[in-house]
Structure 1
Amino acid sequence: MATHPAAEIFVDADLVRHLLREQHPSVAEQPLHPVANGWDNYIFRLGADYAVRLPRRLAAAQLTANEQAWLPGLTADLAVGTSAPLFAGAPSDAFPWPWSVTRWFSGTEVSLQPRDRNVSLAAPLARFLNTFHRPAPAGYPLNPVRGVPLASRNDAVLSRLDSGMVPHAARVRELWETGLALPAWTGPALWLHGDLHPANLVGSADGGLEAVIDFGDLTAGDPATDLAAAWLVFDRNGRRIFREALGSRYDADPHVWGRAQGWAVCVASALLANSDDHPGMYLMGSETLMEILTDAGGGM
């Protein structure tokens, strides 16, 4: 049975307040309260404008370090808000890992709204990707589960399909094998968000896209990894508009959308097999799987 990973360190508001007073005193006395305890991070709201994100386990500490090192430069020219660190907290005697102060976005978590409303996000999300998907330099953060060839995820996906947790497993296996058979990405390693699903998108009051958040899986590689958002975020109509809004950016690779559907299978199977204690994530996986299964041939 999948369970929420146990925290390896305890963090409360008193500790966060201590860290802020020690390293970022200009904001340390603003109101502070916890808002989330996720798989990788504790999240505290700081005043009206900020959030404090602290790793809750060692595996997430390097992800925070990657965000601190790369995101400020990568996101400076984006038209949409991001969770790029505004202040990079350093390890100390009080807390052994890096931690960050980021912007707080007060919009709607996209995963909480009906999928057919996400159509208004298709064009702005496409603009985000068209800007963000640029060639990465040597030394970009390596990620063994994002941006890599689909074949490297085969054992994990098949294990999930055999777990009994993924509905329509036989048909899903066929779709997965179709994706595996496609030629791999041969272009340059492009910067990737790596985890572009509805819970990492914040909608604005006018129905647009306020922010893209949680770049913990930041890496570079096959853009099909992020293009899986076509199924993770949208219904059929949204997928059509999303693809149109991307323009001709990926036309040189006739197999990119087939691999993107393969990535959607990979992520949906992970959500279904590992979120039985997190109903929201399980629902996201279930809805994504239904979009994949009803999208004949991935034609969108």
Structure 2
Amino acid sequence: MQTIDTALVKRLIRSQFPQWAELPIRPVLPGGWDNRTFQLGETMSVRLPSAERYEPQVAKEQRWLPWLAPQLPLPIPVPLAKGEPDAGYPWPWSVYGWLAGEPATHAGITDMNFFASDLADFLRALQRLETCEAPPPGEHNFFRGGPLRIYDAEARQAISRLGDAIDAQAALAIWQTALHSTWRTAPVWIHGDVSAANLLLEKGRLSAVIDFGSCGAGDPACDLTIAWTLLQGDSRELFCKNLALDPDTWARARGWALWKALITLADHRHPTTLHTLPAWHVLKEVLQNAGF
């Protein structure tokens, strides 16, 4: 991982965008994994890839986000400028307009059903957009929107490593069901990482969707994992109903949620760490709510 700090961002801004050199720069915490984000002044943000494998996301976001933004019902990041490698930093980077809000949490959401409905509306609008020339699943987005079989060996190894700590038989059954279907219609636009951290709230309502680094065109199942990672009960059912996707797509979505929980737990099995508690919760939701 590249070391990225406030001092580096100041050097990059001063060198390439001197008109903004006197603006304060503050890291956005908690920091992301693929990219590091800093607030620039009151109205902008700076986003820098943290490793070479995330570099292709810069050009993709620069090309597609200005096109996507005016067609969606909620604000998304829009690039204002593109930075070049400089000051010891080896990759391109971006300056965006700042989107206010806090990452979604149960405590912060005033009404889970409104939240689920708003998110379903956003995803439905995204899925309806023209996909001509949109990037297909690939290394640029870690095959989000592609077939789950690319992660088959990884998922099975995780189940084996976890052993008696989980209901391996139930996990395998859900995984195998997810593998047995594919998206059989035209590719649709996907966000690629619809997690609570990328869904911003203002006054308790969904206000913006950020981090399109994994976007592309393909199977929308990967965008539905929020049904198990954040939604529950009535809000989960409403989300499912409003999206009106077929049962096979939801089975694949369940597979995506299961895969992520499994690989997280296989790397960090201790149940009391802050890093693994959410994954244990997701695994429980996936295994216990397989037929909604």
TM-score by length of 1: 0.84
Report the counterpart of residue 170 of structure 1 in structure 2: 169
Q: Which amino acid is the alignment partner of residue 39 of structure 2?
A: R
1:27–1:11 CA distance, 2 compared to 1 (3 A)? same
CA distance in 2, matches of 1:240, 1:116: 18
Report the counterpart of residue 240 of structure 2 in structure 1: 243
CA contact (8 A) 2:134 2:216 kept: no
Identity across the alignment (%): 35
Q: Which amino acid is the alignment partner of residue 51 of structure 1?
A: S
Stretches of structure 1 lacking an aligned partner (at least 5 in a row): 1-6
CA contact (8 A) 2:199 2:209 kept: yes
CA contact (8 A) 2:137 2:143 kept: no
1:99–1:28 CA distance, 2 compared to 1 (3 A)? same
Give secondary structure in 1 for the equivalent of 2:55.
helix
CA distance in 1, matches of 2:136, 2:158: 27
Moved more, 58-67 or 156-165: 156-165
Report the counterpart of residue 188 of structure 2 in structure 1: 190
Shift of 1:84: 3.4
Stretches of structure 2 lacking an aligned partner (at least 5 in a row): none
1:286 to 280, 283, 287: 280
Q: Which amino acid is the alignment partner of residue 167 of structure 1?
A: I
1:80–1:219 CA distance, 2 compared to 1 (3 A)? same
The 5 A counterparts of 1:1-300 are 7=1, 9-36=2-29, 37-92=31-86, 94-111=88-105, 113=107, 118-133=112-127, 134-138=129-133, 140-143=135-138, 144-164=142-162, 167-181=166-180, 183-205=181-203, 207-246=204-243, 248=244, 250=245, 253-274=246-267, 281-295=275-289, 298-300=290-292
CA distance in 1, matches of 2:280, 2:105: 12
Report the counterpart of residue 3 of structure 1 in structure 2: none
Shift of 1:131: 1.0
Give secondary structure in 2 for the equivalent of 1:74.
helix
Q: Which amino acid is the alignment partner of residue 136 of structure 1?
A: T
1:138–1:274 CA distance, 2 compared to 1 (3 A)? farther
CA distance in 1, matches of 2:173, 2:145: 22
CA distance in 2, matches of 1:84, 1:159: 39
Q: Which amino acid is the alignment partner of residue 176 of structure 1?
A: W
RCO comparison, higher one (Cα < 8 Å, 6+): 1
1:114–1:13 CA distance, 2 compared to 1 (3 A)? closer
Q: Deviations over 1:247-268 (max 9, x none)?
A: x4x3xx4422122211221222
Query: Number of paired residues?
Result: 285
1:268–1:113 CA distance, 2 compared to 1 (3 A)? farther
Shift of 1:29: 1.5
CA distance in 2, matches of 1:115, 1:240: 17
Q: Deviations over 1:223-243 (max 9, x none)?
A: 111122222221122111112
CA distance in 2, matches of 1:287, 1:212: 23
Shift of 1:276: 6.9
Report the counterpart of residue 4 of structure 1 in structure 2: none
CA distance in 2, matches of 1:156, 1:26: 48
Q: Deviations over 1:60-99 (max 9, x none)?
A: 1112222222222122222212233232222335422111
